[in-house]
Amino acid sequence: MTLKPLLFATAVILVVGAPLRAAAPADRVFRAGAATSNITPPLGASLDGYIAQGTRATRVHDELHARCLVLDDGRTRLALVVVDNTMIAREIHERAKALVPAATGLMPGRILISATHTHSTPRAVPLHGDAAEREYQEFLARRIADGIQRAVSNLAPARIGWGAVARPEFVFSRRWHVKPEARVPNPFGETGDQVLMNPGVGRAGLLGPSTQPDPELFILSVQHADGRPLAVLANYGLHYVGGTGAGAISADYFGAFAELLAQRIATPLQDPPFVGLMANGTSGDINAVDFSRPPGPPAAPYARIREVAGQLAESAEQVYRKIKHEAWVPLAMAESDLPLAVRRPTAERLAWAKQVWSEVKDKSRLTRRDVYARETLSVADFPDQVPLKLQAIRVGGLGIAAAPCEVFASTGLEIKARSTLRPTFTISLANGYNGYLPTPRDHQLGGYETWLARSSYLEVEASEKIRDELLRLMTIVAESVR
Ligand SMILES: [Zn+2]
């Protein structure tokens, strides 16, 4: 099965945006401030997830940060924060926003916080419920709030612009159609899944990828009024890269990109320091492995991270050098809470889960089947509906849409194509964590991202409802009267 050519399949196309031309009102100055806040946990922190059982942190390859950018058009002030964490529960986001002092002028509804989805960090979601977990999550919230406050302290006259380039080399569908005879049972013992997640390079029986990735590397650049770089917020739809060492803490390619871009465009020890941010786009079904090619030689730890981050930083610099920065653009932000239904296990599945879980002898050594039995029981206790925090931001003519899920690439591409604001980019894993967001078609295909668990529990139509609500919010911010 082959897919139609990509939107920008072959050539690297550079698109530099012309911000919506708006004369700066005489009394308004555009200002921006950026700062980072170190959020590295102590060694010994648990690297467990809902599904994957990790280890404890025994080393730090690179420090973790909350990277904060505050924009102010003279009337509206808003904050964009990218946090080196796999996923952050809504309560922790809300705790962080509540800790931002009112004196900063930033109400919770003007703060967008997202997790990058690096897998080499603790998961900031309720897992073990122990003191160490609670302590780190409180520390994380406080450090995020500190970072926002520090970015506000750095507010200075600034100018802003954006551009984009296609980098299809590092984004591939991680869900592949498999021939009926090559299908494998899922953890519930069923064999109806038509796709396999991360099937392995060179695996027999693969038919083709289930989706088209979004290859766009988007760059939002903020400079000081004198042209010195202040911050760059990049956006790319790549799950994460991985290939880190065992027990190591790392910000994955998201952190490496920020570091390498700073080396390219900023001055060392600049005051205040330049801040790079890489926000995760819509990458729920996308990773950096091309399963259609024969496997290459095994890479050393961090080698692939350096390669991806290095090449994207090079592209980001090329885009950055061509951006025409504007002295003033209007800002607007809107958010809403969208109630969505929770999928329920069938009575039969629930009985299966209770049976399997009752037979588990050692709860520290779970099989995949045991994990999904536990997950089934966890989701069975969920409320019937959960509210999802959705946000839209307008920066001049640019739109930013944010959702608290691992959004699939097709949903992101649709939001980009249908948004009132052009261009628009999307940020996943923002303001909460509500699991994977497969489309109804993906639910039909089955596979890991659709298996009922705390990592996938929203109603089958959730992706369409979220898309529609984000498009509605985008129209609101686009039409906001200045
Ligand atoms: Zn994920």
Q: Is there a single domain that holds both residue 323 and residue 358? A: no
**For range 156-161, the mean pLDDT:** 98
Ligand 1 centre distance from Cα of residue 239 (Å)? 6
Ligand 1 centre distance from Cα of residue 246 (Å)? 18
The reply to whether 171 falls in a domain is yes
**For range 28-54, the mean pLDDT:** 94
**pLDDT at residue 23, rounded to an integer:** 63
Q: Is there a single domain that holds both residue 363 and residue 281? A: no
The reply to whether 306 falls in a domain is yes
The reply to whether 5 falls in a domain is no
Ligand 1 centre distance from Cα of residue 117 (Å)? 7
Burial 53-64 (b: 16+ CB within 10 A, else e): ebeebeebbbeb
Q: Is there a single domain that holds both residue 135 and residue 33? A: yes
Q: Is the per-residue pLDDT at 90 higher than 80? A: yes
The reply to whether 92 falls in a domain is yes
Ligand 1 centre distance from Cα of residue 287 (Å)? 10
Ligand 1 centre distance from Cα of residue 407 (Å)? 10
**For range 348-363, the mean pLDDT:** 96
Least confident span in 18-32, 132-146, 391-405: 18-32
Could you say which of 301, 329, 357 is where a domain stops? 329
The reply to whether 447 falls in a domain is no
Q: Is there a single domain that holds both residue 359 and residue 257? A: no
Q: Is there a single domain that holds both residue 58 and residue 163? A: yes
The reply to whether 207 falls in a domain is yes
Residue with more model confidence, 52 or 30: 30
Q: Is there a single domain that holds both residue 302 and residue 354? A: no
Ligand 1 centre distance from Cα of residue 406 (Å)? 6
Ligand 1 centre distance from Cα of residue 429 (Å)? 9
Ligand 1 centre distance from Cα of residue 315 (Å)? 25
**For range 101-110, the mean pLDDT:** 97
Ligand 1 centre distance from Cα of residue 449 (Å)? 9
Q: Is there a single domain that holds both residue 292 and residue 374? A: no
**For range 184-197, the mean pLDDT:** 95
Quick: pLDDT tens for 362-408. Answer: 988 999 999 999 999 999 999 999 999 999 999 999 999 999 999 99
**pLDDT at residue 15, rounded to an integer:** 52
Quick: pLDDT tens for 222-242. Answer: 999 999 999 999 999 999 999
Ligand 1 centre distance from Cα of residue 251 (Å)? 15
Ligand 1 centre distance from Cα of residue 88 (Å)? 12
pTM of the predicted model as reported, rounded to 2 decimal places: 0.95
**pLDDT at residue 325, rounded to an integer:** 98
**pLDDT at residue 4, rounded to an integer:** 39
Q: Is there a single domain that holds both residue 179 and residue 255? A: yes
Q: What is the Cα–Cα distance from 337 to 204, expressed in whole angstroms?
A: 44
Count the alpha carbons within 13 Å of 193 in the hemisphere toward its beta carbon: 22
Pair of tokens at residue 184: 């494998």
The amino acid occupying position 334 is: A
Mean pLDDT computed over every residue of the chain: 94
Query: pLDDT band at residue 32, thresholds of 50, 70 and 90?
Result: very high
Quick: pLDDT tens for 276-314. Answer: 999 999 999 999 999 998 888 889 999 999 999 999 999
Q: Is there a single domain that holds both residue 312 and residue 369? A: no
Q: Is there a single domain that holds both residue 106 and residue 178? A: yes
The reply to whether 340 falls in a domain is no
Domains contained in the chain, number = 2
Ligand 1 centre distance from Cα of residue 77 (Å)? 31
Q: Is there a single domain that holds both residue 238 and residue 358? A: no
**pLDDT at residue 428, rounded to an integer:** 98
The reply to whether 397 falls in a domain is no
For residue 360, give its domain range.
347-378
Length of the chain: 482
Please name the helix (run of DSSP H) or strand (run of DSSP E) that holds residue 351, with its range, or none.
helix 347-358
Ligand 1 centre distance from Cα of residue 91 (Å)? 19
Q: Is there a single domain that holds both residue 314 and residue 351? A: no
**pLDDT at residue 482, rounded to an integer:** 54
Query: pLDDT band at residue 256, thresholds of 50, 70 and 90?
Result: very high
Contact 135, 45 (CB under 8 A): no
**pLDDT at residue 481, rounded to an integer:** 62
Query: pLDDT band at residue 12, thresholds of 50, 70 and 90?
Result: very low
Contact 480, 394 (CB under 8 A): yes
Quick: pLDDT tens for 417-472. Answer: 999 999 999 999 999 999 999 999 999 999 999 999 999 999 999 999 999 999 99
Phi and psi (nearest 5°) for 422? -125, 125
